[in-house]
């Protein structure tokens, strides 16, 4: 068949172009991971600043009463009035919130490039993540971390294509051709 050569050539060129497109898509997609984490950490820092400000106000109110925040928390939690007793739980939650946010921010900021996505997922606050996603602005990170994620994206996209699509389809075509050849060989001439 004289047309098979040019057709194969066109498909080979198209596949090379498709590989390049996959590389670009993989790099662009995965480079957004550190960008999202960076925007998440900024939002997390804002939540932490606000929680610390509220905690400082509660500590100042306790000090004006001649108590520490822990003493005020224990005093209100033990109160006979249910409304005042619930205030003790609010005071305790405010302290815990500051500790949780500070631990999460510190862990994410100080994690290595390779550990950061796992640390991020470990300390992920779903509400903050949803709010971050709601205002997320894609960007092209020009950091070492952005480069690493881009390279991982290239490898993942090409790997999925070559081992999850191209190789199985190629095997199926070869098996089909072998069956057809066996059928033709077995047919009487």
* Residue 102 binned pLDDT confidence (cut-offs 50, 70, 90): very high
Domain count, the chain: 1
pLDDT number for residue 131: 97
Q: Is residue 11 part of a domain?
A: no
Q: Say how far apart CA 14 and CA 87 lie, in whole Å.
A: 67
Range of the domain at 170: 23-186
**Percentage of the chain surpassing pLDDT 90?**
39
Q: Is residue 14 part of a domain?
A: no
Q: Is residue 58 part of a domain?
A: yes
Q: Is residue 9 part of a domain?
A: no
Across residues 162-176, what is the average pLDDT?
77
Q: Is residue 143 part of a domain?
A: yes
Closest to 29 in 3D by CA, of 164, 156, 170: 156
pLDDT single digits (tens) 10-52? 555 667 778 888 888 888 888 899 999 999 999 999 999 999 9
pLDDT number for residue 181: 78
pLDDT single digits (tens) 122-137? 999 999 999 999 999 9
| Sign of the dihedral defined by the CA atoms of residues 158, 161, 164, 167, in that order | negative
Contact 120, 41 (CB under 8 A): no
């Amino acid at each position: 068949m004289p047309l098979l050569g040019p057709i194969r050539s066109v498909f080979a060129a198209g596949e090379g172009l498709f590989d390049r497109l996959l590389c670009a898509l993989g790099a662009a997609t995965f480079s957004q991971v550190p960008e999202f984490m960076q925007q998440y950490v900024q939002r997390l820092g804002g939540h932490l600043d606000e929680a610390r400000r509220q905690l400082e106000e509660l500590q100042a109110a306790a000090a004006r009463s001649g108590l520490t925040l822990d003493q005020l928390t224990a005093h209100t939690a033990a109160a006979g009035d249910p409304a005042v007793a619930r205030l003790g739980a609010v005071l305790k939650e405010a302290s815990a919130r500051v500790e949780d946010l500070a631990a999460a921010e510190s862990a994410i900021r100080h994690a290595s490039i390779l550990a950061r996505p796992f640390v991020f997922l470990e300390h992920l606050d779903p509400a903050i993540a949803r709010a971050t996603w709601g205002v997320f602005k894609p960007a092209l990170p020009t950091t070492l971390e952005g480069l690493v994620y881009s390279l991982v994206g290239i490898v993942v996209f090409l790997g999925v294509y070559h081992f999850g699509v191209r190789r199985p389809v190629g095997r199926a075509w070869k098996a089909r051709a072998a069956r057809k050849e066996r059928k033709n060989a077995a047919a009487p001439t």
